[in-house]
Amino acid sequence: MKTARIIKSSFMGLGKNKLRSFLMMIGIVIGITAVTIVVSAGLGAQKKVMTRVKKFGLESLMVFAGGGRETGRPSSGQPVTTLKLSDAETIKSTIPAIAEVAPFNRQGGGMIKYKEKSSTAMIFGVTPTWAPVWSWYTEDGDFISDEDNSRMARVCVIAPTLQKELFGDANPIGEQIRIGNVLFQIKGIMEARGISPGGGDMDNRVYVPLSTYMRRIANVDYIAGIKIRLDDVEKMNEVVVDIQSILRERHVLAHDEPDDFRVITPKAVTEFAKKVTGTFNIFLVLVAGISLISGGFVITNIMLIAVTERRHEIGLRLAVGARSRDIRFQFLLETIAITFSGGVIGVLLGFFGAFILRLATAIPVLISWEGIVLGIVFSSLVGLISGIQPAKRASDLQPVDALRG
Amino acid sequence: MHIIVQTKNVSKVYQKNGGVPIYALRNISLSITEGEFIAIMGASGSGKSTLMNIAGCLDRPSEGEVIIDGQAAHTLDNEALARIRNQKIGFVFQSFNLLPNTTALENVELPLIYSDRNNISGLAKEALNKVGLADRLSHTPAELSGGQQQRVAIARALVNDPEIIFADEPTGNLDLRSSYEIMALFQELHEQGRTIVVVTHEPDIAEYATRVIKISDGNIQNDTSNNHIRKAQEDLKKLIETAEVK
């Protein structure tokens, strides 16, 4: 009852100092808005990563030619020539847990021409297993077949981005396009797939038979990688070890030599994607942290000034029977009430900001209860921490000194 | 008679940074009995306010004992002193000390917030009624005259039904008419049995009290009962009549 009355009295005081309460709130509002956006964007990004990993396939792994730790293309300019089509065949036939292998080669920035129009796209040389291994099929027409590969046929399947670039809304099937200097007939269009785990457009591609690619486009006898689909996800780690030993043996690598290939699992893809979004998050967390800390200092200062300004009030309260802990409680409560309100406003603004962000940019945001809890807990915590010193100063006042003030 | 406040050899010494000690009070011994209306008189710096602060448990003596209603206040901790101030003592200040932007009712409720009582707004209304401000409950200090503000402050001092009311220069910021009104109110409360101590430097004001204690240089100069008590109500009436003639 008594505590409730003191709380009520504190809140009344806040309402009577609207400008001061507002000024104290600003920093917290900004900080919590940033925190909320960070959490929303972070969760959104996480969700996006998960969908990307699903695109990659949870039961899939990838073998790339060339050592090193990064995903994507080999970093050195020199292509690695040791991974062969026969490696893929051996892996498939030796490891029973593997359902299917899809060897491929590719090159970026290939010139694609249709009549007088031209565009650039990734050129992929693939086998028919590419489609089931990626669970990625044609939207229209047919995919590359075994026969195309054995005939070294000059046929291709194009993906939606390239289709739009070259043909607009027209039906391209049966049309001839020029890849490099060779004419290919379009036999199918791929389903749209969106953004890759690495962040690239998976729909700006053209697929040709692997044999045709190796002979007519790149003129090489090696492949860039093998996408592998497992029967049993549980065996992922064993399969990785098996692949490593098979390839090391086939590539005649000595014990002290590093791998000349890398095996990428969904876990590695997740980590890579997280690293990309992490940089952005660190920046926002920094903004949020700085504004909360400076907001906290502002609050401490304004409250210290308020304690000085309100000496008479404190003296009066002491004279009529407030104990020093009642005064301490009141000032701490006032500070927390302000930051709490700032937190609530910040969460609301943060959600609004996240909503705008989602509309205005490609950054995915997810509005969640974690954001609300985090915002409110953080703001109250800032209030508690920045309120301690002013509350202590207020409660340390002796009645006769405060009244004289 | 029941002794409410008793001081025994109370001294208050101020010493700044190891300088010469300054005695605000020296060996003050006095008793305040229930039902008295005391005026503590003295020039500024005489120590009269210090005496009131110590007797009212707002301050502690450097030496000596302070007994409030049988309790040795000088031995108590701050929390126990706050409790005594809350339950046994009411204060009225020269500058009213009302919370700004806060209604008369809320101002009077303030001491009750820190008490264990219930029905605080009922008690506060009752106190405002006693000082004749039943129709000003929701007025803020800015909307009240000086005299009315001081009456709100007196209601606040009364609301906890204290043993004693201390008033420090209660008419210091008021015009003559309001001063008469406030002193008439104190006399009325005194007649109802309240124990009142008014600290003042004005001899006129002291004439309304039943006992006058003169303080000079931290000592009690004399302590006499007033045989010619003036009636503030009559002075007020005369003042109004004179004003009407003019």
Residues 6+ apart with CB under 8 A from A286: none
This model of the complex carries an ipTM of 0.94
Q: Which of A227, A212, A89, A99 is nearest to A147 (CA)?
A: A212
Which residue on chain A is closest to B162 by alpha carbon? A320
- For residues A315-336, give the mean pLDDT: 93
The answer, for A284 touching chain B at a CB cutoff of 8 Å, is no
A271 or A342, greater pLDDT: A342
* Residue A403 with chain B: CB contacts under 8 Å: 58, 93, 97
Which residue on chain B is closest to A326 by alpha carbon? B114
pLDDT at A198: 63
CA angle B199, B203, B204 (to 5 degrees): 105
Residue A156 has pLDDT above 80, yes or no: yes
Shortest distance between the Cα of A319 and any Cα of chain B, in A, equals 6
Top-level CATH class of B35-60+77-245? Answer: alpha beta
pLDDT at B40: 96
SS3 label, residue A34? helix
Distance, CA of A376 to chain centre: 25
pLDDT at A54: 77
With cut-offs at 50, 70 and 90, classify the pLDDT of residue A72: very low
Look-up: residue for tokens 């009411």? B90
pLDDT at B110: 94
Q: Which sequence spans correspond to the domains of chain B?
A: 35-60+77-245
The model's pLDDT over A116-128, given as tens digits with 9 standing for 90+, comes to 888 999 999 999 9
Residues of chain B contacting A, Cβ within 8 Å: 53, 56, 58-59, 78-79, 82-83, 85-87, 91, 93, 97, 99-102, 106, 110-116, 118, 120, 156, 160
Indicate the range of A79-93, A359-373, B63-77 predicted with least confidence: A359-373
Residues 6+ apart with CB under 8 A from A79: A65, A220, A222
Residue B143: beta bridge partners?
Answer: none
Shortest distance between the Cα of B100 and any Cα of chain A, in A, equals 9
Residue A57 has pLDDT above 90, yes or no: no
Question: Which phi-psi region, left, alpha or beta, contains residue A68 (left: φ > 0; alpha: ψ -120 to 50)?
Answer: left
pLDDT at B209: 96
Nearest Cβ partner for B82 among A9, A316, A323: A323
- Ordered alpha helix ranges (H), chain B: 48-55, 78-88, 104-113, 120-130, 146-158, 176-191, 203-206, 232-245
Q: How far apart are CA A163 and CA A112, in angstroms?
A: 11
pLDDT at A19: 84
The answer for A 195-214 residues in CB contact with B (under 8 A) is: none
Which residue on chain B is closest to A318 by alpha carbon? B82
Upper half-sphere CA count for residue A230 (Cβ side, 13 Å): 22
Residues 6+ apart with CB under 8 A from A130: A102, A104, A124, A136, A143, A144, A207, A227
pLDDT at B206: 94
Across chain A, what does the average pLDDT equal? 86
The answer, for A312 touching chain B at a CB cutoff of 8 Å, is yes
Shortest distance between the Cα of B11 and any Cα of chain A, in A, equals 16
- For residues A68-90, give the mean pLDDT: 71
The model's pLDDT over A389-398, given as tens digits with 9 standing for 90+, comes to 999 999 999 9
pLDDT at A142: 93
- Ordered alpha helix ranges (H), A108-158: 130-134, 146-151
* Residue B66 with chain A: CB contacts under 8 Å: none
Residue A109 has pLDDT above 90, yes or no: no
Which residue on chain B is closest to A322 by alpha carbon? B114
The answer, for A18 touching chain B at a CB cutoff of 8 Å, is no
* Residue A395 with chain B: CB contacts under 8 Å: none
Shortest distance between the Cα of B191 and any Cα of chain A, in A, equals 24
Distance, CA of B226 to chain centre: 19
pLDDT at A3: 82
The model's pLDDT over A248-302, given as tens digits with 9 standing for 90+, comes to 989 988 888 888 888 888 877 777 766 766 666 677 778 778 888 888 999 999 9
Which residue on chain A is closest to B99 by alpha carbon? A313
Nearest Cβ partner for A400 among B58, B120, B160: B58
CB atoms within 10 A of CB A134: 19
Residue A77 has pLDDT above 70, yes or no: no
| Mutation site for B-interface testing, chosen from A316, A326, A395, A404 by largest number of B Cβ within 10 Å | A316
Nearest Cβ partner for A320 among B78, B85, B118: B85
- Ordered alpha helix ranges (H), A139-201: 146-151, 160-167
Q: How far apart are CA A350 and CA B91, in angstroms?
A: 50
Shortest distance between the Cα of A320 and any Cα of chain B, in A, equals 5
- For residues A62-76, give the mean pLDDT: 65
Nearest Cβ partner for B97 among A12, A316, A398: A316
Walk along chain B (246 residues) and give the pLDDT tens digit of each residue.
799 999 999 999 988 887 888 999 999 999 999 999 999 999 988 999 999 999 999 999 999 999 999 999 999 999 999 999 999 999 999 999 999 889 999 999 999 999 988 899 999 999 999 999 999 999 999 999 999 999 999 999 999 999 999 999 999 999 999 999 999 999 999 999 999 999 999 999 999 999 999 999 999 999 999 999 999 999 999 999 998 887
pLDDT at A58: 81
* Residue A325 with chain B: CB contacts under 8 Å: 79
Contact criterion met (CB below 8 Å) for B184 and B170: no
